[in-house]
Structure 1
Amino acid sequence: MQITDADRRILRQLQAEPTLTNAELAERAGTNTATCARRLERMREGGIYLGQRAVIDWAKLGYEVEVSLRVSLDKTVPRAFDEFMEQARKIPEVVELQTFLGQVDVRLSVLARDMKHYQQLYRSKILTLPHIADIEALMQVAEIKSSRGLPL
């Protein structure tokens, strides 16, 4: 799908402030409200604009520990990947799953209230996931940059 300069202006404004009303968005992007709504719908249908999401400060809700787990799976088992992912998706504290090519197959981002809670999650839920060949934990100390926005 080809996007125009007007589409880029709309997306740029959405990246900067996703809570704008359609009228505010149209004004800032230099279009009228109806055109803005049509362009957004076209970009949604084309899979460019995926929607909005809430960004929650988990630490303020009592989740102080974030751990990134790098997992290598047993590649001798034909369905190892599918079975691992199926079970990992069921753990509520796993907030992100990513797959990779290379020595590490999967990265899990895990949130826990504290180290005791993390240790309990690790032993009772993470280590019981099927087909783990190797696992490495990286404790997050600080988040320096977290952005999904790109220059448009």
Structure 2
Amino acid sequence: MIDLDETDRAILRALRADAALSAGELGRRLGLSQPAAWRRIRRLTESGVISGRRLVLDREALGFGVTVFLGVKLATKGRVSLDEFERAASAIPEVQTIEHVLGLFDYRLKVVARDLADFERVLRRRIMTLPGAGNVEANVMLSEERLPGPLG
């Protein structure tokens, strides 16, 4: 773990809001030279604080109006490997995230669909046929509020 000063935190907040910002633009916003901003970004990346940059797509603009979180309990843990379940779930395009969790369920999946009828198709034809899939509980997302996280 590296020590972060307020400038590092400001860089992280700015990149979290817009990961496409250049070192020059970051420097202008924070009162740093372009090389100084670039060195800090490189240090944060090399230390693992920045692990990548992502493009965030608007699901609704792409026609995916429904997001569902599924709790999946494996029916046959001993007969089906976790890797096999994860590999099969990863092959489903509507599955956005696969989280192996501790608790009532073994996995938590985030699934997007065009509408509820499309979700039902994905559930019946793809999710319920996953190797080892047993009990499945669905929670439809009604709204989403993004919180800033630990950096404020």
- TM-score category (smaller protein): 0.7 to 0.9
**How large is the Cα RMSD of the aligned pairs?**
1.9
Residue number in structure 2 paired with 1:77: 78
TM-score, normalising length: structure 1: 0.87
Give, in whole Å, the separation in 1 of the partners of 2:14 and 2:140: 34
Deviation at 1:139, TM superposition (A): 1.3
State, as a whole percentage, how many aligned pairs show the same letter: 37
Residue number in structure 2 paired with 1:142: 143
In the TM superposition, 1:43-62 aligns within 5 A as: 43-62=44-63
SS at match of 1:27: helix
Equivalent pairs counted in the alignment come to 151
Residue number in structure 2 paired with 1:2: 2
CA contact (8 A) 1:73 1:81 kept: no
Deviation at 1:54, TM superposition (A): 1.6
35-44 vs 1-10, which moves further: 1-10
Give, in whole Å, the separation in 1 of the partners of 2:89 and 2:10: 39
CA contact (8 A) 1:74 1:80 kept: no
Unaligned runs of 5+ in 1: none
In the TM superposition, 1:14-33 aligns within 5 A as: 14-33=15-34
SS at match of 1:35: helix
Unaligned runs of 5+ in 2: none
